[in-house]
Structure 1
């Protein structure tokens, strides 16, 4: 089983006349609590690919009920949608993600590191060394 997975997810920014696009969701067992949503350059304000990292639990829980209280929030949308809200100083974007794509990604991420086993995957010595290097 690979330690890193990437799934394509159909998405659309919730705004007038927005066009559907394909984003990518990434999970890496080396960072077991996090997922990354990668958005293409064509939809960003500065024309560059944008990556948001947030807790894997937000996607897991947010498919069924509202989750998150900070700059990233997730909740069930219309049938077949999972809503993802991303807040930054520049503004807020709300993205509708295809619920089946999100479910497939979450299932694959849980196959790599089952829920509750995240701490067993962390290399505490390496994490501490990294913190000390950057101090």
Structure 2
């Protein structure tokens, strides 16, 4: 999808954004942003956070999401980073809604924990310590 990197109130720059969902990691959505540099930038967002941000302000700290004021239900804002060094994105709300509907067809909300391989998670946790 195409997102807008909001530079100023009157100027934004188009940015390609790809969302990826994996049922084996059911609580998160991976958002990859393709800039003019060689390396894309990836952020991990909570699936519930994206859904909550469609209807009102959600998140705190490094990730905040809210509907774009004055745009009806057409767009939403995603702020990534600290207040001192943040990127503000405006994304089409319908694209996010459609994406979330597809994820919920794979893993309905509230059933995420049943899709996690807990033995593998414990093995990985002990291997790291």
- Aligned mates of 2:115, 2:90 — CA distance in 1: 31
Number of equivalent positions: 124
Aligned 8 A contact 1:10 1:101 in 2: no
- The residue number in structure 1 matching 2:7 is 15
Aligned 8 A contact 2:16 2:35 in 1: no
- Aligned mates of 1:81, 1:121 — CA distance in 2: 31
Query: Where does structure 2 lack aligned partners over 5 or more consecutive residues?
Result: none
CA shift for structure 1 position 21: 2.4
Once the two structures are superposed, the pairs formed by residues 114-133 of structure 1 within 5 Å of their partners are 114-133=108-127
Report the 3-state secondary structure (helix = DSSP H, G, I; strand = E; otherwise coil) of the residue aligned with 1:125. helix
Mark the CA change 1:133 to 1:71 in structure 2 (over 3 Å): closer, same or farther: same
Aligned 8 A contact 2:61 2:82 in 1: no
What is the CA deviation profile of residues 7-37 of structure 1, one whole-angstrom value per residue up to 9, with x for unaligned ones?
A: xx22001113432122101110010000011
- The residue number in structure 1 matching 2:20 is 26
Aligned 8 A contact 2:7 2:13 in 1: no
Query: Where does structure 1 lack aligned partners over 5 or more consecutive residues?
Result: 1-8
TM-score under structure 2 length normalisation: 0.89
Q: CA RMSD in A?
A: 1.6
- The residue number in structure 2 matching 1:5 is none
TM-score under structure 1 length normalisation: 0.85
What is the CA deviation profile of residues 92-122 of structure 1, one whole-angstrom value per residue up to 9, with x for unaligned ones?
A: 0110001111111111111110000001001
Does structure 1 residue 50 correspond to structure 2 residue 32? no
